[in-house]
């Protein structure tokens, strides 16, 4: 199944066909993870760092599996709550994964996992100065987006909904506002996507890509769901490129009215 | 490992990945990694929240009560 677009796009200096970015966590098994990632057609996969010896899956075994996929790696700073933690983890990730890409996450609230905008901007400034291509996980707040761009970010990744919630686009108006405000910045909806239709919705309003993990990994059949998301991202993008019709508040018949059968003009007596 | 510390200086206690560990005094990062059997590839080290690049392992000493994180690749979203 070919789910790549016939056009390419650029992000972080890479030229890609797929507009789906996928996570590597929460799959029922390493084998299903690799099959689902391949089935998604994604060319960017997110990874992380954790203490060795605590997670027995961490280290060489996982690293070898991911390396064999031969995809662009996007390490994250998940679990960081301060700029200092995120900056240190980004440097460690650059050494382990050999990439200057970093998905910057600085969490400000433990219940919603909402990113801390102040800490994210502060960390972004330092990381851009240190040569990183920062993919900032942010809310859909327009002013925060401006500050991240001012900090040197060339990509924005607003949430659709809280991480792992699967609620879809909670505030499509705010996401559409970001699209209008930053027509030339790659925009990725990161977090909150639960179903393929959520991905279609984001792509139809002109987002450049979708980053998701739980929606595929926690599906009853992750491999089939990965294919579904590949198709939905493609469908949404094509819908955006084609230009949707203007919505109307009234009905308008699509079948010609001229020559309607059985019609006759009322004749007054 | 520093020659002078091998016999006379008592060992030091540090925290490695949240656990208390004992190391010979004068240990550098490279020696610590070998001593604690963190020999697999794909590791990165931070001491007291400061990243230590691999090419600085030999020149970076471990001090008593240092908080050391040794991280490896894992899945992430």
* A56 part of the active site: no
- A264: confidence class by pLDDT, cuts 50, 70, 90: confident
* Minimum-distance CB partner of A25 among B41, B53, B76: B76
Are the C-beta atoms of B8 and B60 separated by less than 8 Å? Answer: no
Task: Pick the catalytic residue from A103, A125, A167, A227.
Answer: A103
* Minimum-distance CB partner of A48 among B18, B40, B76: B76
Chain B residues whose C-beta is within 8 A of a chain A C-beta are 17-18, 38, 40-46, 49-51, 53-54, 69-77
Structure-model confidence comparison of residues B2 and A245, the more confident one: A245
Checking DSSP bridges between strand A9-11 and strand B50-52, what pairing results, if any?
Answer: unpaired
Residue A54 is predicted with a pLDDT of: 64
CATH homologous superfamily of B14-71 equals Beta-grasp domain (3.10.20.30)
CB-based contacts of A14, cutoff 8 Å, min separation 6: A43, A44, A72
Residue A7 is predicted with a pLDDT of: 87
Contact A84 B49 (CB under 8 A): yes
Helix residue ranges per DSSP H, chain A: 30-40, 60-69, 83-97, 117-129, 142-150, 172-181, 196-204, 214-217, 222-242
Interface of A with B in 196-215 (CB under 8 A): 213-214
A31 touches chain B (CB under 8 A): no
Residue A83 is predicted with a pLDDT of: 98
A81 touches chain B (CB under 8 A): no
Average of per-residue pLDDT across A66-77? 96
CA distance A48 to B8: 42
Structure-model confidence comparison of residues A182 and B5, the more confident one: A182
Average of per-residue pLDDT across A223-249? 97
CA distance A135 to A119: 14
Of all residues in chain A, the one with the smallest CA distance to B17 is A51
Q: A50 to chain B: which residues are within 8 Å by CB?
A: 71-72, 74
pLDDT in tens, A120-168: 999 999 999 999 999 999 999 999 999 999 999 999 999 999 999 999 9
Question: Phi and psi of A156, rounded to 5°?
Answer: -130, 140
Q: Is the pLDDT of residue B63 over 80?
A: yes
- A85: confidence class by pLDDT, cuts 50, 70, 90: very high
Complex prediction ipTM: 0.91
Contact A78 B76 (CB under 8 A): yes
pLDDT in tens, B4-62: 445 578 999 999 999 999 999 999 999 999 999 887 778 999 999 999 999 999 999 99
Q: Is the pLDDT of residue A4 over 70?
A: no
Residue A267 is predicted with a pLDDT of: 64
Are the C-beta atoms of A158 and A189 separated by less than 8 Å? Answer: yes
Average of per-residue pLDDT across A97-126? 97
The CA radius of gyration of chain A, in Å to the nearest whole number, is: 22
Q: Is the pLDDT of residue A59 over 90?
A: no
- Per DSSP, the residues of A100-112 read SEEEE--B--TTT
Residue B4 is predicted with a pLDDT of: 47
> Domain spans of chain B?
14-71
Tell me the percentage of chain A whose pLDDT exceeds 90.
Answer: 88
pLDDT in tens, A205-220: 999 999 999 999 999 9
Contact A63 B51 (CB under 8 A): no
Which of A23, A26, A42, A53 is the best substitution to test chain B (most B C-beta atoms within 10 A)? Answer: A53
Q: Is the pTM of this model over 0.90?
A: yes
* Minimum-distance CB partner of B71 among A51, A66, A213: A51
Structure-model confidence comparison of residues A56 and A216, the more confident one: A216
Q: Is the pLDDT of residue A266 over 90?
A: no
Q: Is the pLDDT of residue B3 over 50?
A: no
Are the C-beta atoms of B44 and A92 separated by less than 8 Å? Answer: yes
**Mean pLDDT of all residues belonging to chain A:** 94
Q: A160 to chain B: which residues are within 8 Å by CB?
A: none
């Amino acid at each position: 199944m070919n789910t790549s677009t016939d056009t390419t796009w650029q992000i972080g200096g890479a030229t890609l066909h797929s507009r789906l970015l996928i996570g590597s966590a929460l799959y029922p098994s390493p084998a299903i993870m690799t099959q689902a990632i391949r089935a998604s057609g994604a060319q960017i996969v997110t990874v992380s760092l954790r203490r060795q010896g605590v997670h027995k899956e961490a280290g060489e075994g996982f690293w070898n599996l991911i390396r064999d996929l031969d995809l662009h790696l996007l390490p994250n700073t998940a679990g960081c709550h301060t700029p200092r933690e995120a900056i240190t983890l980004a440097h460690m990730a650059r050494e382990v994964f050999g990439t200057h890409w970093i998905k910057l996450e600085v969490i400000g609230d433990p219940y919603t996992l909402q990113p801390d905008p102040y800490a994210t901007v502060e960390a972004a400034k330092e990381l851009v100065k240190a040569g990183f291509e920062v993919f900032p996980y942010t809310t859909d707040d327009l002013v925060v987006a401006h500050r991240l761009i001012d900090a040197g970010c060339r990509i924005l990744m607003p949430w659709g909904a809280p991480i792992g919630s699967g609620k879809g686009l909670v505030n499509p108006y705010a996401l559409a506002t970001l699209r209008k405000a930053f027509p030339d910045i790659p925009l990725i909806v990161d977090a909150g996507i639960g179903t393929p239709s959520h991905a279609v919705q984001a792509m139809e309003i002109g987002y450049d890509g979708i980053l998701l993990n739980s929606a595929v990994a926690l599906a009853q059949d992750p491999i089939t769901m990965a294919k579904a998301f590949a198709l939905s991202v493609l469908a949404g993008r094509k819908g955006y490129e084609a230009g949707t019709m203007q919505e109307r508040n009234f009905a308008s018949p699509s079948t010609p009215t001229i020559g309607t059968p059985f019609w006759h003009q009322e004749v007054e007596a | 490992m520093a020659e002078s510390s091998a016999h006379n200086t008592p060992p030091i206690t540090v925290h490695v990945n949240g656990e208390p560990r004992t190391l010979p005094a004068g240990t550098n990062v490279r020696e610590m990694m070998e001593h604690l059997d963190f020999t697999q590839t794909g590791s990165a080290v931070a001491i007291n929240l400061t990243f230590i690049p691999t090419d600085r392992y030999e020149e970076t000493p471990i001090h008593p009560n240092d908080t050391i994180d040794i991280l490896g690749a894992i899945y992430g979203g």
